[in-house]
Each structure stands twice: as C-alpha cells, then as structure tokens.
Amino acid sequence: MATSCRQPISSAGRTGRDGHGMPQKKPLVVVTRKLPEVVETRMRELFDVRLNETDAPMSNAQLADAMRAADVLVPTVTDRIDSGLVAQAGDQMKLIANFGNGVDNIDVTSALRRGITVTNTPGVLTDDTADMTMALVMAVARRIVEGAQTIPSGEWAGWSPTWMLGHRITGKKLGIVGMGRIGQAVAVRAAAFGLEVHYHNRRRVALATEAKLGATYWESLDQMLARMDIVSVHCPHTPATYHLLSARRLKYLKPHAIVVNTARGEIIDENALVRMLEGNELAGAGLDVFEHEPAVSPKLVKLAKAGKVTLLPHMGSATIEGRIDMGEKVIVNVKTFMDGHRPPDRVLPSML
C-alpha cells in the first residue's frame, strides 16, 4: 500500500517536491466551505489557498475539479469524498485535511491506497459537543423549547401547578454509548447534574478513568439499554456502528426513556426511532444529527411540533472558539505535512 507519510522526511528533493511529494512552492489548498475570518487570513499567509467566499456546498463535479488540481483538500462533513472522487485525484494531491472530527465523509482506505494522507481535528470540539448534549437532555426532559415557545406565541396564560411538567433528571440513569473523549466529557457533566452514569464502549476504558467518572461499564449494549432512563450516543459512525441502535435494540428501551444523539444520525435506525416515538414506546428524543442530513424526516418535524422531540440543525460544535480551534488544527496538520513531518492528527484505518 502506498502510504505517503510512513516517516517524517524533512529534506526537499531536487525535483522541486519534498519527501511527501509536496511542491516546494506554497501548496495549493482548496477549502470547501467558508471558515472563520482569522483562519482564512492565516491560510492566505501560509498557503496558495482557494477559499469558498459564498459558503455554498461544492458539487461533486467541483470537488472532482478540486481533487484534480489541489495539493491539499480541506473538506467538511458536508462533502462526501468517496472512492469515486479519490480515484479522480491528481497525482499532486497528497493530503485531505478534514475540518471536523468525524471522518465518515471520507473514504479513508481509498485515500490511503492512493497515497493520500487524511487528518482530522480531534479534541477541540469535545466540550462544546458535550455541552450541547446536556442541553438536549435538559431540553427534552424539562420541555425547554416547548415552554419557551409559549411566550412568543402568546399561549402562556400564567403559572399553574400542573402545567408544562417535565421530568427531574437528578438521580436518573444515563447510558453513554461510546466512551471516547466526548462520551467522557458528557459523563463529567452528567455527574454534576446528579445523573447515574453508565456506559457501553467497544473496549472498557481504564479502571482509573472509570472510577474518576464514577461510570458503570456494560459489556452488553442490549442490557444497558434495557435499564436506562436516558441514552446518549457518542461513538463515531463507522460500518460497525451503522444502525448500532437498530429497531431490535431500540425495543429494549423503557417507554419513559429519552434518546439523545449529537454524534451521527446513521448510528440510530431513524425510521425505527420515529415509529417508537409515534407509538409512545419512547418518551422523547433530542437529536442534533440526522440519518439523511441535511434532510430531516417530516415525521420527526411533526413530532417536534407536538413537543415530543427537540431537533437541532447539527450545531453541537458550533461555537466560534471551536471553529477557530478546528481551523488552527487544520493549519497545523497541513503545515506539518508540508514541512515533511507526520501531521499530528493523522487518521489511520485502525482508528475507524
């Protein structure tokens, strides 16, 4: 397999390309979406950069053109860099520096086979995503969106002891599916809210971490689901986690349970989730991601109007600080790679 980044190479070759095959002149970096000003300014200083001033998502044909011309592509979650696109990459394309943590938008294996290194932006959106997870837990359990809407709509006629009652979260059991960085950040927050933290993960986390988080490990996801009041999804979307919360597994949940997803829509069988919500087999859901993004199932929209679910437009990591940090990570990855070294956030198939 031709991997472009097996070892750091710092000396530039006589061919006008460095050890990665990157040109010694500034590399052409194509960025597919509009990034914060400060990130774009720095990119202009460092690279021969083609920015997307309009922020309109690029078509497949535009992405293919970019892959044919650029040395580095900086895509986001909205760009599907599949094997077909990778096959169209020019020989000069050496790096796909994803602006995002999840890399399910990129066929990493095809890219690596083609000698294209892939990097992502881990760590810098952990806290923001964990915060948004807790916001969704609270929104669903305490009916925050539903309640807030009654004031602008003029529906609120004043306080009443039995009106707009939600459910207490203190003392409830939270099941975290995927105990990586974000899962752990959610566990810390959840404990502060008085939730009992449980988790399922491919591999049990270190016992010291478990003890610090006060989290109970469940080897069996099915058994954990059957006992939780709230379930929150935090694993990456990979072929192994596609519909991890399948129709069969969702049936284990108790009718008063709430499902929260700030990871990827594809991890939950959305049709099955909708059916259960419609049939009152589940109490509610808080979703920041959808199976067919940016399309949102009209049935989910109907459930949102009925106050049964809270839907957010994939904004878990949407803070200006987070976006700037993500941009800085991209810049460091590109720059390190250009300088002939191994970029810090290289994605390998073994991580997927």
Q: Rounded to the nearest 10 degrees, what angle do helices 126-142 and 181-192 cross at?
A: 50
Helix (H, G, I), strand (E, B) or coil at 302: helix
**Whether residue 293 lies in the annotated active site:** yes
Which among 267, 349, 343 has a CA at the least distance from the CA of 94?
343
Q: CA end-to-end span of the chain, whole Å?
A: 18
Size of the site for ligand 8YV (CB under 6 A): 9
Output 137 or 276, the one with its CB closest to ligand 8YV.
137
**Whether residue 264 lies in the annotated active site:** yes
The minimum distance between CB 167 and ligand 8YV, in angstroms, equals 28
Output 125 or 253, the one with its CB closest to ligand 8YV.
125
H-helix or E-strand spanning residue 310: strand 309-311
User: Could you tell me if 138 and 144 are in contact, meaning their C-beta atoms sit under 8 angstroms apart?
Assistant: yes
Which among 314, 287, 319 has a CA at the least distance from the CA of 303?
287
The minimum distance between CB 144 and ligand 8YV, in angstroms, equals 21
Task: Please report, as residue ranges, which positions from 93 to 132 form the binding site for ligand 8YV (by CB under 6 A).
Answer: 99-102, 125
Q: Cα 270 to chain center, whole Å?
A: 17
**Whether residue 328 lies in the annotated active site:** no
Output 201 or 317, the one with its CB closest to ligand 8YV.
317
Output 37 or 222, the one with its CB closest to ligand 8YV.
37
Nearest position to ligand 8YV, beta carbon: 100
334 burial (CB, 10 Å; 0-12 / 13-18 / 19+) is buried
Q: Which amino acid is at 196?
A: E
The minimum distance between CB 105 and ligand 8YV, in angstroms, equals 8
Mask for 66-85, x = binds ligand 8YV (CB under 6 A): ----------xx--------
5 burial (CB, 10 Å; 0-12 / 13-18 / 19+) is buried
Q: Which of 249, 264, 323, 346 is catalytic?
A: 264
The minimum distance between CB 19 and ligand 8YV, in angstroms, equals 29
Task: Please report, as residue ranges, which positions from 263 to 322 form the binding site for ligand 8YV (by CB under 6 A).
Answer: 316-317
Q: Which residues of the chain form contacts with ligand 8YV (CB under 6 A)?
A: 76-77, 99-102, 125, 316-317
Which residues form the catalytic set? Answer: 264, 293, 314
